[in-house]
C-alpha cells in the first residue's frame, strides 16, 4: 500500500456545525506529508457483527464527493470460516460522478486492507 498507517485516534464525540458525531481519525505518512481521514461511525452492532462508517473529510475524499460510506458485516461460513461482506457507496456533490480512476483506486485500497486483515487472521487464528 502507498500509505503507512501509523496512528489511529478515537475522538469519541466531535461537533461539526450543529451536529455531534461519533468519530475516529486515521493519520498516515505518505510522500513526505502527514495526511488524515475523518471517519463518522454510523453503526457498531456487536450482536450481528456489523460495522458501518463513512469518510466525511480528509485527504482520501475527492473534491467531487461529499462522503464515502462503508457497510461491513461478518457471518459464519462453512467449515468454521467466516464470510466478510463490504459494500461501498459514494455520495457525490451535485451531479458529479466519481471517475473510473477514483473507483479503481478505492477498490485497490480496500482489497489491500482486506488481504492484510485476512493474512493476520490466518497467522493468528486464536485472536479475539
Every domain of the chain and the residues it spans: 4-96
Q: How far apart are CA 77 and CA 58, in angstroms?
A: 35
How much of the chain exceeds pLDDT 70, in percent? 79
Q: What's residue 22's pLDDT?
A: 61
Q: What's residue 23's pLDDT?
A: 66
- For 75-93, the pLDDT digits (tens) are 888 887 788 888 888 899 9
Retrieve residue 30's grid coordinates: 505518505
Is the pLDDT at 10 greater than 60, yes or no? Answer: no
Q: What's residue 118's pLDDT?
A: 78
DSSP letter string, 64-128:
TEEEEEEEEEEEE-GGG-EEEEEEEEEEESTT----HHHHHHHHHHHHHHHHHHHHHHHH-TT--
Q: Which CATH class is domain 4-96?
A: alpha beta
Residue 62's SS3 state is coil
How much of the chain exceeds pLDDT 90, in percent? 2
Amino acid at each position: 500500500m502507498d500509505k503507512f498507517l501509523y496512528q489511529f485516534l478515537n475522538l469519541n464525540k466531535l461537533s461539526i456545525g450543529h451536529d455531534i458525531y461519533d468519530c475516529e481519525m486515521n493519520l498516515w505518512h505518505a510522500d513526505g506529508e502527514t495526511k488524515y481521514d475523518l471517519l463518522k461511525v454510523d453503526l457498531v452492532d456487536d450482536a450481528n457483527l456489523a460495522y458501518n462508517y463513512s469518510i466525511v473529510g480528509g485527504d482520501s475524499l475527492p473534491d467531487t464527493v461529499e462522503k464515502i460510506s462503508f457497510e461491513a458485516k461478518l457471518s459464519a461460513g462453512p467449515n468454521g470460516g467466516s464470510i466478510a461482506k463490504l459494500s461501498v457507496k459514494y455520495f457525490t456533490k451535485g451531479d458529479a460522478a466519481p471517475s473510473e480512476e477514483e473507483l479503481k483506486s478505492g477498490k485497490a485500497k480496500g482489497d489491500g486492507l482486506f488481504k492484510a486483515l485476512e493474512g493476520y487472521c490466518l497467522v493468528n487464528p486464536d485472536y479475539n
